[in-house]
A = this chain, B = another copy of it.
Amino acid sequence: MSDEVSAPSQPRWLSAEEQQAWRAWLYSTLLLQDRLDRELTRATGISHAYYEILVQLSETPGRALRMSDLADRCLSSRSRLSHAVSRLEERGWVRRQVCEDDGRGQLAVLTDEGFTALEQAAPVHVESVRTHLFDQLSPEQVRALQDIGQTLQAHLSPPR
């Protein structure tokens, strides 16, 4: 990719203000991810990463996606996703089937049991997100959060 960095001859060190913003972003995101993951796991037995897999499948027509597309949407490596789908298969929430379009590749399909599990986990998850994110922020901060997130996402998203 053209915007990959390489070791610079003259490092562009961060200013004190940038350093503060960077540490605040880093720690707040790690703390928030950790809190959401723990609360979801404790209440439902589903980690946040697994929850995202169920969400992505549930929002697709037929509740099915190619494994490679599912990995892209979950920002996961193929091997990590394959491992996660195996765990979800053991619970009966996802099943794999051969892709009918071309006979090659695999689909991950959300089962009815998986959809029910997602429906039961969703109220817990949204309460966590509201308590630890939206309840803490002013309307201006929410708008800024969306603006910053979309700016960074546009820069970092792989081309489809």
Contacts and interface: CB of A to CB of B under 8 A. Distances in A.
Contacts of A3: 131-132
Nearest to A7: B124
B35 A156 contact: yes
Interface stretch (A16-24, A60-68, A104-112): A16-24
Interface stretch (A81-89, A91-99, A141-149): A141-149
Interface residues of A, number: 61
Nearest to A131: B5
A74 to B, nearest CB: 9
Given A141-B151, A145-B21, A156-B28, A14 B134 contact: yes
B156 A132 contact: yes
Work out how many copies of this chain go into the complex.
2
Nearest to A124: B7
Contacts of A30: 75
A130 interface: yes
Nearest to A77: B34
A31 B29 CA distance: 12
Minimum-distance CB pairs A-B, first 9: A24-B149, A21-B146, A144-B144, A31-B156, A11-B123, A28-B152, A28-B149, A28-B153, A5-B127
22 contacts: A5-B127, A5-B132, A12-B127, A18-B134, A18-B142, A21-B143, A21-B149, A23-B149, A24-B145, A24-B146, A24-B150, A25-B133, A26-B149, A27-B149, A29-B33, A31-B152, A132-B156, A136-B151, A136-B155, A137-B148, A144-B144, A145-B148
